[in-house]
Amino acid sequence: MLLSSGVTLGGVVAYDQLLGSDGASTAATSSSSTQGPVSTASSTSDPDWSAVAAAVTPSTVEIQVAAQGGTSTGTGVVLDTKGNILTNNHVVDGGQQVQVTLSDGSVYAASIVGTDASTDLAVLRLDDPPSDLQPATFGDSSSVAVGQDVMAIGTPLGLQNTVTTGIVSATARPVTTTGQQPDGSDSTYTSAIQTDASINPGNSGGPLVDATGAVIGINSSIAGVASGQETSGSIGLGFAIPASTAKLIADQLIDGGTAQHAYLGVTTTDGSAEASGTTRTGAEVVSAEDGTPASKAGLRKGDVVVAVDDTPVDGAAALTGVVRGLAVDSEHTLTVVRDGSEQQLTVTLTAAS
């Protein structure tokens, strides 16, 4: 599965491909997840990564998926004591048999509770969960800052409980993944956390944690240099789905197996406009359908959306990614450039049909 985005290094890759028997790539929260801080001796100013790893590893699992075309391996995060596990949709897509290995090596059968291709998230549930499951703690991804220390935990190339460290390289990075459908109906748009922590095939669905051990993102893709191979290893450009989006979708999947998505009701393209003598790039409105949140908010053709609340928008994919990470019925402020000046419009998002 190749992902295309603003990254120009050869594309972004959803890196846990389904492997056939010949090894060739064939492409392919619950309330308890908001428990108190992880008990570690670490601090944000002087991270003790050994303590963080010891605290978070028990909440991280290896996922093995058997499908018609072969097998794949990914990572997951324990959401609660009921055995719900959060991972990426592309890890389990097409899976006929799922097996989860805990950090202590114990192996359990699992079933798919629900999947959401548009955010690349899925929830599994252990068929017979142990009584001592340790749920992960989820942090506030909206407060993530560029330059802060982070750790990625997962199963790269089948090596379970591997930890790597780095920093947050960027926030609200628009990443667009193109799936296998010719019409693009299975494309994923994410307003992602970018990190230089080493992420490789097998890390998908694993946690990106801060120096306190709180999950701030779910690792999902990497950028790769163009080559004869469809995927490559880490070059220091990894992307994670923000924890706020992950929890929003996971809670819905646990409740009903499906997820609703926020809807703005606008068609946009990459564009730019001048405001107060400065050129701003953003999502230029091509049309706003009557009766939609966009039209009710006053968006009109030619407007260039440059921000949603405090999140900058530099193009059409960025706007889609931001909106998909927001809750249905939530109210937000759109900053638009119109007739040479910035304006703020208030919009209430509805559910996509």
Per-residue model confidence as pLDDT tens digits over 42-92: 566 789 999 999 999 999 999 999 998 889 999 999 999 999 999 999 999
CATH class of the domain defined by 2-14+137-246: mainly beta
Q: How far apart are CA 249 and CA 100, in angstroms?
A: 21
pLDDT at 242: 97
Write down the catalytic residue from 5, 30, 72, 90. 90
Write down the catalytic residue from 30, 72, 204, 221. 204
pLDDT at 189: 85
pLDDT band at 145 (very low <50, low <70, confident <90, very high): very high
CA 191 from centre of chain: 8
Q: Which residue bears the tokens 């056939």?
A: 20
**Fold agreement between 31-126 and 262-351:** no
Say which CATH architecture domain 262-351 belongs to. Roll (2.30)
Comparing 178 with 206, which gets the higher pLDDT? Answer: 206
Closest to 308 (Cα-Cα) out of 294, 290, 291: 294
Angle at alpha carbon of residue 57, lines to 53 and 58, rounded to 5°: 135
Comparing 225 with 73, which gets the higher pLDDT? Answer: 73
Whether 90 is a known active-site residue: answer yes
pLDDT band at 35 (very low <50, low <70, confident <90, very high): very low
Write down the catalytic residue from 120, 149, 196, 210. 120
| HEC assignment per residue over 286-340 | EEECCCCHHHHHCCCCCCEEEEECCEECCCHHHHHHHHHCCCCCCEEEEEEEECC
For the cut 80, the answer to whether the pLDDT of residue 114 exceeds it is yes
3-state secondary structure of 257: coil
Whether 149 is a known active-site residue: answer no
Per-residue buried b or exposed e for 238-274, using 16+ beta carbons within 10 Å of the residue's own CB? bbbbbbbbbbbbbbbbbeeeebbbbbbbbebebbebe
Query: Strands 278-288 and 266-275, how do they pair?
Result: antiparallel
pTM score, two decimals? 0.85
Whether 120 is a known active-site residue: answer yes
Mean pLDDT of the chain: 86
What sections of the chain are H helices per DSSP? 49-56, 89-92, 243-256, 293-297, 316-324
CATH class of the domain defined by 31-126: mainly beta
Listed range (57-71, 110-124, 170-184) with the worst mean pLDDT: 170-184
Taken as a whole, the chain contains a residue count of: 353
Q: Which residues are bridge partners to 61 per DSSP?
A: 76
CB neighbourhood size of 352 (10 A):
14
The full set of domain ranges for the chain reads: 2-14+137-246, 31-126, 262-351
